[in-house]
Chains A and B, each alone.
Chain A
Amino acid sequence: MTPTRKRRLILISLVIFGVAVATAIFLTAFKDNMMFFKSPTEVSAQDYPQNRSFRLGGMVKEGSLKRIENSLKVQFDVTDYGADVAVEYEGILPDLFREGQGVVAIGYMASDQLFVAEEVLAKHDENYMPPEVADVLQTQEQP
């Protein structure tokens, strides 16, 4: 082998090795952090990932918001007018969180009945609704 070829071979093997390592890390990181989006109807049909976080989206049900006395814990129901899911959250709710408005909660199912949210996102301004929530509502409105 000529020195040039040998050098090229080393360079190419290094690049392939680098790409392989990067791909492996990429796939692992990706698998662990991919989050599914589910509607209340899907959740009540037990169609949700077990033991990992997912995003639950819908409307905050009118009259369902309750605060646990003297704490930052709140409970509310998320609905798509087909099914409801009870959600528990501890912390500060976003400014635009309202009953009857769209919301996306990130968390997991603590039991078959209760979704524990780690993060709650409400729509960002009056005109905006998370596209996923808009979709969920559209499918429910058309009987």
Chain B
Amino acid sequence: MLPGIGQFLLVLSLLLAAALTVLPMLGYARNSQTLMQTARPLAHVLFITVMASFVVLVVLFVQQDFSVLYVAENSSLELPLRYRITAAWGAHEGSILMWVTVQALWISAVAKFSQSLSLSQISRVLSVLGLIALGFVAFVLFASNPFETIFPVPADGRDLNPLLQDFGMIMHPPLLYFGYVGLSVAFALSVAALIGGEINEQWIRWSRRWTNIAWAFLTMGIILGSWWAYYELGWGGWWFWDPVENASFLPWLAGTALIHVQAVSERKNAFRGWTVLLAIIAFSLCILGTFLVRSGSITSVHSFAADPFRGIFILVLLAIYSGGALTLYAFRANQLRSRDTINLNSRETLLLANSLIFITATFTVLLGTLFPMIFEAVGKKISVGAPYFGLMFFVLMIPMAVILPLGSQLRWHRDDMLAAVKQLLPYFIASTLLTVVVWLIFKPLNIRAIAGIYGGFWVLTATLGQWFKRPGRATAGFIGMSVAHVGVAVFLIAMSMTEHKDIEQDILMSPGITKQVGGYDFTFTGVDRVKQENYQAQQGHVEVRRDGRLITTLNPQKRFYPKQQMPMTEAAIYVGWSKDIYVSLGEAVNQEGAWAVRIYIKPMIRWMWFGGILMLTGAIIGLFSARIKRQEDKQRDHVMAQQLKLS
């Protein structure tokens, strides 16, 4: 009964999405007010039906309805309630349904918060968003239906993958989807603008907010993913340059470029074509990311069932959306030509340079990720190692850090480059001194670590200096920018320390033995057994001392989930201000209770994530810009007045 309702709701959503795609666009083509006015209500109804089908899936999990294949494969009688709810998006089918749900929510929000757009604009934007929803609802229905039933009904399910029974996992996918899908708004705006052959400042200003919100979600999703991999996978790393990680990072890089270019194009008639193109690229990378994750066509540590049909389906969607948008761009971009000239000595130039650096970074990551696939096509099997990405990234982030303070120092429109450089001189000296001090304390440091720390201090001192020397009151835009840039600095410094001053050791430890690692004494006192709701574990005890004083006792676990016959390593982490102490269990080595123990010391790793949080906070603060609000209000009144005149 219930699965049937879920199925029915999905079919209904498909029809609604089709209507949302066709009717408003038809209205635009025929200049029919009535047809265009269907856009907003359709968007809201679409959200209700999609959301309802998602709720049905959650209810199926809560009720343990094993007649549904997806529930039987990802839940079990012993699974605690909180994980039964999150299991709804734990595997492929449910997670794609969640993607569609989040997208429908976003479409509905766009329909609601678009008072400053004229009817002809919003109907085109919603129509494009409807087309995207149509493709993904079809994907759910025809290639990954979570409501498929099985007969005979199994007595018990196969349980959720233990790695996914975790808080990080609960939050990570929805946040990423909010980011992915959020970028579809900027995409839809670009396509709508290309269809109409016109774009103006006010329209870009409107889409800028959506981009900022999407980018903030994406950042949070990536941070959570990194944090989850760090403590849950038991390897102690925070980033592996794995194809699936790159899939989330690619749209982030393109989105960062987009945010910076939008800052120019919403102020003046410049970089119009580039803004539109970047928005298309950013969302295309979101779909490509979904393809990489879901098709299983690339070797990845992430486990996702490989299904060629699904891969092809998403590729077709990618071809339609990106191919269509790019074709449209090729024919129409010249109509969006920018009229204002850009002075070389201005903030605009530096923002353009920023976007070029970020888009270059995007393509180097993309090449490294896709190259194995290209090679595979000619029969050779290769993979691209993490050092490639690390090196490329390092090389590209140097110019980024070097020009960042110059960009925020220079004024809009026209400035004196030489004077700006002179003003930056004190920060240059301060950052040099700070770097030398850090080097004296922590030496030896390799060249990459020094460059990273130097870059971090350079951005930090300059951003703080500009903050205190600014004339007048700080606007939300300025505060947001400064906070985000301090985040960049914190990230650079912390990342350099984590990457280059960490200690990783695998050691053999017998009970009672003490080993010294990085100035700490680790005493292993043995392993005992514990039993939890749906797993058993062997729990080790490691006492950590510094100069004889007990700091903490860490209890890492080796868990065993009987349902899935799956072992799992649960690391124990001591979180300190300046460093994490990370201990995980390998395996029992002999009969006398000796274990292989992994000990990591990770300096400043928390600060790295904190830097990311500052960046997204900056993006959110920027939303409260009084200047943008004033202009939006003016525009809304203007649109209202127009409508009154028409009726």
Which residues of A line the B interface, CB within 8 A? 7, 11, 22, 25-26, 29-30, 32-37, 53, 55, 67, 70-72, 90-93, 95-96, 104, 121, 123-128, 130-132, 135
A29 proximity list for chain B (CB < 8 A):
387-388, 391-392
Which residues of B line the A interface, CB within 8 A? 161, 163, 234, 296-297, 299, 301-306, 344, 360, 364, 367-368, 371, 380-388, 391-392, 395-396, 506-508, 564-569, 586-587, 589-590, 594, 596, 598
Least CB distance, A83 to chain B, in whole angstroms: 17
A130 proximity list for chain B (CB < 8 A):
299
Contact A72 B508 (CB under 8 A): yes
**What are 13 A-B residue pairs whose CB atoms fall within 8 Å in the complex?**
A22-B360, A29-B387, A29-B391, A30-B388, A33-B391, A35-B382, A35-B384, A53-B385, A67-B589, A91-B596, A92-B587, A123-B303, A132-B381
Contact A95 B301 (CB under 8 A): no
Contact B381 A93 (CB under 8 A): no
Contacts A35-B384, A36-B382, A37-B381; is A126 near B306 (CB within 8 Å)?
no
Q: Which 10 A/B pairs are nearest by Cβ-Cβ distance?
A: A92-B586, A33-B388, A37-B381, A124-B303, A128-B303, A33-B385, A29-B391, A95-B567, A91-B506, A125-B303
Bound complex: CA of A40 vs CA of B576, how far in Å?
46
Bound complex: CA of A96 vs CA of B344, how far in Å?
58
Tell me the nearest residue of chain A to B304, going by C-beta: A128
Central interface residue in A32, A95, A121, by most chain B CB within 10 Å: A95
Contact A34 B506 (CB under 8 A): no
B344 proximity list for chain A (CB < 8 A):
7, 11
Contact of B384 among A22, A33, A71, A135 (CB under 8 A): A33
Central interface residue in B163, B302, B381, by most chain A CB within 10 Å: B381
B383 proximity list for chain A (CB < 8 A):
34-35, 37, 55
Contact of A95 among B303, B305, B368, B569 (CB under 8 A): B569
Contacts A37-B382, A92-B586, A126-B566; is A32 near B303 (CB within 8 Å)?
no
Central interface residue in A29, A90, A96, by most chain B CB within 10 Å: A29
Contact B566 A125 (CB under 8 A): yes
B507 proximity list for chain A (CB < 8 A):
72
Contact of A32 among B161, B302, B388, B589 (CB under 8 A): B388
A124 proximity list for chain B (CB < 8 A):
301-303
Least CB distance, A48 to chain B, in whole angstroms: 12
Central interface residue in B303, B367, B387, B590, by most chain A CB within 10 Å: B303
A92 proximity list for chain B (CB < 8 A):
506, 586-587, 596, 598
Bound complex: CA of A101 vs CA of B188, how far in Å?
47
Contact A131 B296 (CB under 8 A): yes
A33 proximity list for chain B (CB < 8 A):
384-388, 391
B568 proximity list for chain A (CB < 8 A):
95
Contact of A72 among B301, B380, B506 (CB under 8 A): B506
A132 proximity list for chain B (CB < 8 A):
299, 381
Bound complex: CA of A123 vs CA of B296, how far in Å?
14
Contact A127 B303 (CB under 8 A): yes
Least CB distance, A5 to chain B, in whole angstroms: 14
Having A22-B395, A25-B392, A25-B395, one finds 20 other A-B pairs with CB under 8 Å, namely A22-B364, A29-B388, A32-B388, A33-B384, A33-B385, A33-B388, A34-B371, A34-B384, A35-B382, A36-B381, A53-B385, A70-B508, A70-B589, A91-B506, A95-B567, A95-B569, A96-B566, A123-B303, A124-B303, A125-B303
